[in-house]
Structure 1
Amino acid sequence: MGLTLGLIGFGEVGGILGRGLLGKPGIDRILAWDLRFADADNGAAARRAAEDTNGITATASMEALCAEAALLISAVTASQTFAVAKEAARHARRGTRFLDLNSASPGTKQRAAEALRAAGVEYVEAGVMTSVPPYGIRVPMLLGGAQAESLAATLNGWGMDATAVSETLGVASAVKMSRSIMIKGLEALVIESFTTARRYGVEAQMLATLKETFPQIDWPQQGAYFFSRVVQHGKRRAEEMREAAQTVREAGFEPLMTAAIAGRQDAVSQHARAGLFEGLDGKSAWEDYADRLIAQAQREA
């Protein structure tokens, strides 16, 4: 007899996992809960969107989800990592396993684990090591915790790519967050550098020097990708960078660079929510994004 899988958060990552795990051996049912389901205006539409994936059932509450799920997978925004764990601890049955995919600091993951373990729930942290959409359920992830090894075997049996790295909680998250500082930092640097060069009309010369130094990188293509990802997911990335800054603090350092990365990601996401990049998408050139930022700066000057 298979288990009931409960997805907490049914955004991009939760949806990809849910659709990808449908019909896998050992999974009888997949349930989903998302705060959007409770929205007075749009909740019904959000539930229908989840259930359009035939085989996934949208539940009425976190309590309803936890009442039936033997494995809970948390895929929410970084700022909600601990809050979700605390709520799940109130409702989950003893012996339930909880896989935390969220981009949070080692300290945040350890506090989440404490709350769940006090309720008899087995907590496993995950560090998702790259963007999920290109990989689907095969996205590489590192697992940590006492149950990491056994849960990795279960996940890999479903076609996932999970590697247990430590029984000590925080190790997988430390790897993930250290990597995130670099990757999200590159995004922020490219946006600031490319837009500044465009404003001065020196982008061709600047890109030529980058090509000379890093010939293996297609900088215009990479720049377009970075701009589009930050425009689409900047709010989520900024939250992740605030958790990355906390990771740096927990290591005993001042997160001067990481805090600045969060600020740049957040600024672009605010422009995106205001409609500044309307009509642009993943196929747009980086210059199109930069021109919108330049025009906005000129209006604000």
Structure 2
Amino acid sequence: MIRIALIGFGEVGQILADDLKDRAMLTVWDTQFADPAAIPRKAATVRAIALPASAADAVAGADLIVSAVTAAQTLAAAEAVAAGIAPGARYLDLNSASPGQKAAAAQAIAARGGVYVEGAVMSPFPPKRLGSPILLGGPAAQAALPELAALGFSGVAFFSETLGQTSAAKMCRSVMIKGIEALLTESLLAARHYGVEPTVLASLGDLLPGPDWPKLARYMISRSLVHGRRRAEEMQEVARTVTEAGGPAWMSAASALRHAWAPQFSHADKAETLLDMLDAIRADAAFGLKDAAE
């Protein structure tokens, strides 16, 4: 069986482990394995996965390495893995990082004889799992398609031989998607204060017809409450992408701040409706605002 090393054992890493366990011999690594109370360590323990001593040990002898770490750790993960990578081993980088960071990661892997493949996940990973749409890029991308498809990655598609274009597509998409999440959070929290949220939501339906805006808004705001830290790191990489393109990243930088702020209200994600969620955030002492009626 093919030997696969998973670098990063958060949400994506755990899904990959569950979906690939019958198709490959797996090793995993996460920087939080040193903490017995950390979620990645507990997740590995529950799955009876042996914990290697280091990232280099985790990838020793692996045919395929899949990196799914937080955006800020993209380059550090590649550098840690490079110390143990086998010549010719394929390194699939699924991280949300700028083209410049991806190029630096590719250089670290290639310097030790590894084969770097740039990947960009173009939708939330949990619903479709291995079927998630993943764009592949770089000189070695097309050659990786058959192996990944055989492992069950049914959503993979070749995008570009030019390293960096795949991550650029992902990052430019995130300007919009994560930006909308941040804008909805700010808009509707303020609208709830003034009691005008029904009018605001109705006007969104007039301008952008189709979605159930209360349902969509609740979902998009909840993503920031639950995954705000990870989203903030991604938006910092988005801002880096914009600046690498030569422009100011005002909107992306502001979105990063909003996403970094949101996780302190993660308890509000338990609310059933959008209005209940907004009220739970506003009632928290950390929010710092009161309704005009109070």
Q: How many residues align?
A: 286
**In structure 2, do the counterparts of structure 1 residues 128 and 32 end up closer, same or farther at CA, with 3 Å as the change threshold?**
same
Offset of residue 293 of structure 1? 3.2
Match of 1:192 among 186, 209, 221: 186
- Classify the secondary structure of the residue corresponding to 1:81: helix
Equivalent position of 1:42 in the other structure: 37
Offset of residue 297 of structure 1? 2.1
Q: Does 1:167 align with 2:124?
A: no
Q: In the aligned structure 1, how far is the partner of 2:55 from the partner of 2:126?
A: 26
When normalised by structure 1's length, the TM-score is: 0.90
- Calculate the aligned-residue CA RMSD, in Å: 1.7
Equivalent position of 1:118 in the other structure: 111
Q: Determine if contact 1:30/1:57 at 8 Å carries over to the other structure.
A: no
Q: In the aligned structure 1, how far is the partner of 2:268 from the partner of 2:202?
A: 29
Q: Percent identity?
A: 44
Q: Determine if contact 2:268/2:281 at 8 Å carries over to the other structure.
A: no
Q: In the aligned structure 2, how far is the partner of 1:47 from the partner of 1:14?
A: 12
Superposed, 1:272-283 pairs within 5 Å as 272=265, 277-278=266-267, 280-281=269-270
Match of 1:30 among 26, 30, 33: 26
Which consecutive unaligned segments of at least 5 residues does structure 2 have?
none
Offset of residue 195 of structure 1? 0.9
Offset of residue 116 of structure 1? 1.1
- Classify the secondary structure of the residue corresponding to 2:210: coil
Equivalent position of 2:288 in the other structure: 297
Equivalent position of 1:71 in the other structure: 64
Deviates more, 1:211-220 or 1:130-139: 211-220
Superposed, 1:1-301 pairs within 5 Å as 2-24=1-23, 27=24, 29-39=25-35, 41-42=36-37, 46-47=40-41, 49-53=43-47, 56-160=49-153, 161-269=155-263, 271-272=264-265, 277-278=266-267, 280-281=269-270, 284-295=272-283, 296-298=287-289
**In structure 2, do the counterparts of structure 1 residues 207 and 47 end up closer, same or farther at CA, with 3 Å as the change threshold?**
closer
**In structure 2, do the counterparts of structure 1 residues 89 and 19 end up closer, same or farther at CA, with 3 Å as the change threshold?**
same
- Classify the secondary structure of the residue corresponding to 2:5: strand
- Residue 201 of structure 1 aligns to which amino acid in structure 2? G
Offset of residue 279 of structure 1? 6.0
